[in-house]
Amino acid sequence: MGLTLNHFSIRTLDLEATRDFYERVLQLTVGPRPPFPFPGLWMYRGDHGDYQNAVVHIIGMDPDDPVGLRKYLGDRDVSSLRGSGAVDHVAFFATGLAQMRAHLQSQGIEVRERTVPALGLHQLFLDDPNGVVVELNYPASEHPGSAA
């Protein structure tokens, strides 16, 4: 099984201050992002034409409209968004979707699945024992019935 670190995500109530920090301090730039049902920004290191360069995903929490985010990634208590509690999930590129599904099932691990057609990805989301969300990104072509 091959793995590489893809990105990390930060959930925030202050999208603009977070964007400013990553632009100013790490010199990342805002680039393309799929039309997810919640506010956010993808911060790139390098070419915006390659989504693999989107190394930080900033997830905006809209207290007036939390439904899209809650349905896609799950709910988080606002009071947990300090320190490492603000890190939403860690993501990896991976191969071997069928094998991983079987492995996770054999281990009794609950998985949430999503497909992002615009990127040709099929995603598995799972929680570690500490509540850290791990995202595994597979080529959508590994997902049965995928149009990718």
For 122, other C-beta atoms within 10 Å of its C-beta total 22
- Give me the residue spans of the domains in the chain: 3-142
* Entry pTM: 0.72
CATH assignment of 3-142, given 3.40.50.300, 3.65.10.10, 1.10.10.60, 3.10.180.10?
Answer: 3.10.180.10
108-119 tens-digit pLDDT: 999 999 999 999
24-72 tens-digit pLDDT: 988 899 999 999 999 999 999 999 999 999 999 999 988 888 788 888 8
Q: What are phi and psi of 79, to 5 degrees?
A: -65, -15
The pLDDT score that the predictor gives to residue 148 is 46
Mean pLDDT (the chain) is 88
Measured over the CA atoms of residue 7, residue 112, residue 115 and residue 75, the dihedral's sign is negative
Of 59, 109, 114, the residue nearest 87 (C-alpha):
59
68-80 tens-digit pLDDT: 888 888 887 777 7
